[in-house]
Amino acid sequence: MIVLYVLALISCACAQYTVRDPVFEMMSPQGLRISYTDTNGVNLVGLHFNIDTPLAGVAAGQYNIDIVDKSGGAFVYEDQGITVRPGQTIYYWILVVHNSGGFQKTEQSWTVPSPITTTQATTTRTTAATTTTAAPSGGISGGISGGISGGTSGGTTGGTTGGTTGGTTLTGGTTGGITGGITGGITGGITGGITGGLTGGTTFGIAANCKEYPCDAACDQTVAPCNGLIFEENWDKLDFDRWQHELTMSGGGNWEFQMYVNNRSNSYVRDNTLFIKPTLTSEKFGEAALSSETVDIWGMSPADYCTGNAFWGCSRTGTGTNYINPARSARLRTVNSFAFKYGKIEVEAKLPTGDWLWPAIWMLPKHNSYGQWPASGEIDLMESRGNKNARNSQGESIGVDSMGTTMHWGPYWPVNGYAKTHVTKTLSGETFGDRFHKWGLEWTENDLTFYLDDQEIMKVDPGPGGFWELGEFSQTQGAATHNPWQYSDSKLAPFDHEFYIILNLAVGGTNGFFSDQDTFASGKPWSNESPTAFKDFWMAKNQWYPTWNADVNNGEDAALQVKTIRVWKY
């Protein structure tokens, strides 16, 4: 194991700690064993060594190891791949992270005795001056600054800068960077992780402990991911490893009017913002295609494959009555890259303005642990309608000045208790398209609390009977109805499993989200019962398309705009 790592020592002005000598032993038939006896409070023992080549100061060595696991009262490192012969010398320096900070001993060496013994060997100092150095005071002011850059061959050159601030900058090694450093203070924890490598870039050492949540005790609990921040999207770029485009014409199971495509006219990142913008299918294929051509998106490489074939999602043929989806838009999801359970999510977004636009920021279960929708749940942070001047039968606004937050759950489709976990909010004197707002959810093992601009808007705690009793399904669907959540030990089932994030902008649809009973300023150009809804919608284009403002502002008034997304794990 070859490990390259860099440590910066920062400490409070706490008690001194005296670093002892590690014990070197030959292993039988070959190998090297190094051990360091623990005293209370040691979190990590770092050893850097060369064989037969002196090592200056805190330079990286041929071997650089972190020992964080203690066994039998000692931090032990064994490597059967190391062959050392009698008379050879191991030059090393050692770092011990003790609860009051980091302490090191440099310019050390040990010469392999002759004859080879597999019993405990003697540690010999070849330099008279043994210094036990507590890192200077200064708290977190140091840390590791800079990164690793430089050449590869023959090892690395370490340079220490920092002195009183306790920071260390190392030049050497190959590719990779350093994230974090060591944070001092009472906890003496180790910050961040270190990525580096002697050849080809490899991740080793304490980096491995600090890159994933939950974190090792040695990691700094104030720095991501060990402060719980397990996901952050600032849209420096559109990261296709993180966000997968759905490619389908299936209309979300709601006969929505858009097809979802991967096209930079429909989804793009600019100014640290994701834009999902609708366009007309006629712009791409010509208007005649809507009623005459086949659009086939089965695809021929993984990046192209249709992601949803239900409801003729991968191939549709336009006819005089069945038009193909007249709008194009995008739906992005983290299903392959990120999902979480329990924690906090916050999303900042500005909603689209324009008739029949239906944006959503929501989550679906990564695994359908209780079966198909809605048995495994759905969490909608935000759904809205882009229409101005839209009202329901009670006269309440349901347009772009309002939005809804909903949880969907039920034993099987279409039985769904969502009405008990649904809230709408309406702004006065402004709309959700005027500026960015923040949607939040705090999700614990006990309840889910939803926020709009940091104000609580809904708290859902199903009580000890869980969502089964909250939904009163036995009463409404009959006592014989199967409870998909009965074997879960969580009252939150189905909301006790990992969910992933979805961002999309839909257009219209016949499922009733745009209800025939509601009142829309310009009238609703299709009936949800119409077998020719797609055509009816398209024929009324002159009525709704102008409201999308395609010619001003790069058409972005009609775009769902998403800024920072953060998820913290509890």
Closest CB 219 distance from ligand NAG, rounded Å: 44
Q: CB-wise, 112 or 559, nearer to ligand NAG? A: 559
Q: CB-wise, 265 or 543, nearer to ligand NAG? A: 265
Query: 383-414: string of b/e by CB count within 10 Å (b at 16+)?
Result: bbbbbbebbeeeeebbbbbbbbbbbbbbbbee
Q: CB-wise, 297 or 398, nearer to ligand NAG? A: 297
Closest CB 262 distance from ligand NAG, rounded Å: 9
Burial group, residue 73, by CB count within 10 angstroms (0-12, 13-18, 19+)? exposed
Is residue 352 a contact partner of residue 361, using CB atoms and an 8 Å limit? no
Closest CB 553 distance from ligand NAG, rounded Å: 17
Closest CB 395 distance from ligand NAG, rounded Å: 38
Is residue 518 a contact partner of residue 393, using CB atoms and an 8 Å limit? yes
Is residue 62 a contact partner of residue 53, using CB atoms and an 8 Å limit? yes
Q: Which of 537, 521, 517, 523 is nearest to 256 (CA)?
A: 537
Q: CB-wise, 328 or 333, nearer to ligand NAG? A: 328
The CA angle 562-564-565, to the nearest 5 degrees, is: 95
Q: CB-wise, 70 or 284, nearer to ligand NAG? A: 284
Q: CB-wise, 283 or 453, nearer to ligand NAG? A: 283
Q: CB-wise, 268 or 412, nearer to ligand NAG? A: 268
| CB neighbourhood size of 40 (10 A) | 6
Closest CB 432 distance from ligand NAG, rounded Å: 26
In the DSSP assignment, the letter for residue 355 is: T
Distance separating alpha carbons of residues 570 and 567, to the nearest angstrom: 10
Q: What is the dihedral of CA 526, 409, 329, 257, to 10 degrees?
A: -20
Q: CB-wise, 6 or 290, nearer to ligand NAG? A: 290
Closest CB 307 distance from ligand NAG, rounded Å: 17
Q: Distance between alpha carbon 184 and the CA centroid of its chain, in Å? A: 27
**Both tokens of residue 227?**
């402060």
In the complex, the residues that contact ligand NAG under the rule CB under 6 A are 263, 265, 279, 283-284, 328
Q: CB-wise, 135 or 324, nearer to ligand NAG? A: 324
**In which residue are the tokens 């260390």 written?**
168
Q: CB-wise, 244 or 279, nearer to ligand NAG? A: 279
Helix (H) or strand (E) holding 81: none
Closest CB 75 distance from ligand NAG, rounded Å: 57
Closest CB 263 distance from ligand NAG, rounded Å: 4
DSSP secondary structure string for all residues of 448-480: EEEEETTEEEEEE---TTHHHHHHTHHHHH-TT
Query: 82-99: string of b/e by CB count within 10 Å (b at 16+)?
Result: bebeeeebbbbbbbbbbb
Closest CB 284 distance from ligand NAG, rounded Å: 4
Q: CB-wise, 55 or 295, nearer to ligand NAG? A: 295
Distance separating alpha carbons of residues 385 and 387, to the nearest angstrom: 6
Closest CB 298 distance from ligand NAG, rounded Å: 16
Helix (H) or strand (E) holding 439: strand 437-443
3 state SS of 195: strand
Q: CB-wise, 216 or 293, nearer to ligand NAG? A: 293
**Both tokens of residue 122?**
């003697």
Distance separating alpha carbons of residues 43 and 299, to the nearest angstrom: 53
Closest CB 267 distance from ligand NAG, rounded Å: 10
Phi, psi at residue 99, to the nearest 5°?
A: -60, -15
Q: CB-wise, 277 or 497, nearer to ligand NAG? A: 277
Q: Which of 151, 160, 90, 82 is nearest to 121 (CA)?
A: 90
Q: CB-wise, 165 or 258, nearer to ligand NAG? A: 258
Closest CB 277 distance from ligand NAG, rounded Å: 10
Closest CB 559 distance from ligand NAG, rounded Å: 14
Closest CB 232 distance from ligand NAG, rounded Å: 29
Burial group, residue 31, by CB count within 10 angstroms (0-12, 13-18, 19+)? middle
Closest CB 281 distance from ligand NAG, rounded Å: 8
**Both tokens of residue 263?**
């096209």
103 contact partners, CB below 8 Å, separation of at least 6 = 9, 16, 17, 18, 19, 95, 96, 97, 132, 133, 134, 135
In the DSSP assignment, the letter for residue 207 is: H
Q: CB-wise, 284 or 569, nearer to ligand NAG? A: 284
Distance separating alpha carbons of residues 499 and 376, to the nearest angstrom: 10
